[in-house]
A and B are shown apart, each in its own frame.
Chain A
Amino acid sequence: EVQLVESGGGFVQPGGSLRLSCGVSGFTFSDYWMSWVRQAPGKGLEWVAKIKQDAGEKYYVDSVKGRFTISRDNAKNALYLQMNSLRVEDTAVYYCGRDDYSKWGHYYGIDVWGQGTTVTVSS
């Protein structure tokens, strides 16, 4: 069974840092691009970042560029999101997701999601 399990969320003051982790099982992690998506309380979904299998390409939404860093450890089957200079508006549930590509390289969005981890930024 394919599983993604996020951890590392918590309460942090503005300007602080947190590192989220996503552990995966049930598929060959190193074969997949991976993403982070967040959802602020009572709001919609916002894509945050995406990383290629070998970490050679990374993409971010503008609002987190320079503050968040996506990374991965294929030996540990783990995805990470290092979040620095946190702001109140970063408060959200953070989901990791597996990116779905065809064997021809066409991207079809996120097909599997974790259950999410909650980040609260408040003074």
Chain B
Amino acid sequence: DIQMTQSPSSLSASVGDRVTFTCRASQGIGNDLAWYQQKPRKAPKRLIYAASSLQSGVPSRFSGSGSGTEFTLTISSLQPEDFATYYCLQHNSYPLTFGGGTKVEIK
């Protein structure tokens, strides 16, 4: 199985900050990676697919990059509605596997 490791597991940031977090795959997955945002007691919402393609309707302050084994999600200017937990998902091979999540909290 492909293991997905997200770092950090949590971070504190302020509105307006630029934040970046990482997802590492235990083996190469090309660009078969998606990023999701989840708010408490809500379903996940896809932000990025194919590692760097922005989901329709998602603000342009979100961007994804990377390929192979290392991927990043960047929020260029953190907004109040962005405080949430972010998960990566590899869909290169079965079983599909999620990272453990990065929780973004208000500083």
A residues whose Cβ falls under 8 Å from a Cβ of B = 35, 37, 44-47, 50, 59-62, 95, 100, 107-111, 113-116
B residues less than 8 Å from A100 (CB atoms): 49
For the complex, what is the distance from the CA of A46 to the CA of B3, rounded to whole Å?
12
Chain B 87-102 interface residues, beta-carbon cutoff 8 Å to A: 87, 89, 91, 94-101
Query: Could you tell me how many residues of chain B have their Cβ less than 8 Å away from some Cβ of chain A?
Result: 25
Q: Are B43 and A109 in contact (CB under 8 A)?
A: no
For the complex, what is the distance from the CA of A83 to the CA of B33, rounded to whole Å?
28
Q: Name B91's contact: one of A62, A108, A115, A116 (CB within 8 Å).
A: A108
Q: Name B43's contact: one of A60, A61, A107, A113 (CB within 8 Å).
A: A113
Q: Are B46 and A109 in contact (CB under 8 A)?
A: yes
Known A-B contacts A95-B43, A109-B49, A111-B49; A44 and B87 likewise in contact (beta carbons under 8 Å): yes
Q: Name B34's contact: one of A37, A61, A109, A114 (CB within 8 Å).
A: A109
For the complex, what is the distance from the CA of A57 to the CA of B43, rounded to whole Å?
26
What distance in Å separates the Cβ of A95 from its nearest Cβ neighbour in chain B?
6
B residues whose Cβ falls under 8 Å from a Cβ of A = 1, 32, 34, 36, 38, 42-46, 49-50, 53, 55, 87, 89, 91, 94-101
For the complex, what is the distance from the CA of A108 to the CA of B36, rounded to whole Å?
12
Q: Are B96 and A47 in contact (CB under 8 A)?
A: yes
Q: Are A44 and B100 in contact (CB under 8 A)?
A: yes
B residues less than 8 Å from A44 (CB atoms): 87, 98-101
For the complex, what is the distance from the CA of A39 to the CA of B65, rounded to whole Å?
26
B residues less than 8 Å from A116 (CB atoms): 43
For the complex, what is the distance from the CA of A37 to the CA of B34, rounded to whole Å?
15
- 27 inter-chain pairs at a CB distance below 8 angstroms, sorted by A residue, are A35-B96, A44-B101, A45-B38, A45-B87, A45-B89, A46-B98, A47-B96, A47-B97, A50-B96, A59-B94, A59-B95, A60-B95, A62-B1, A95-B44, A107-B32, A108-B34, A109-B34, A109-B89, A109-B91, A109-B96, A110-B89, A111-B46, A111-B49, A111-B55, A113-B44, A115-B43, A116-B43
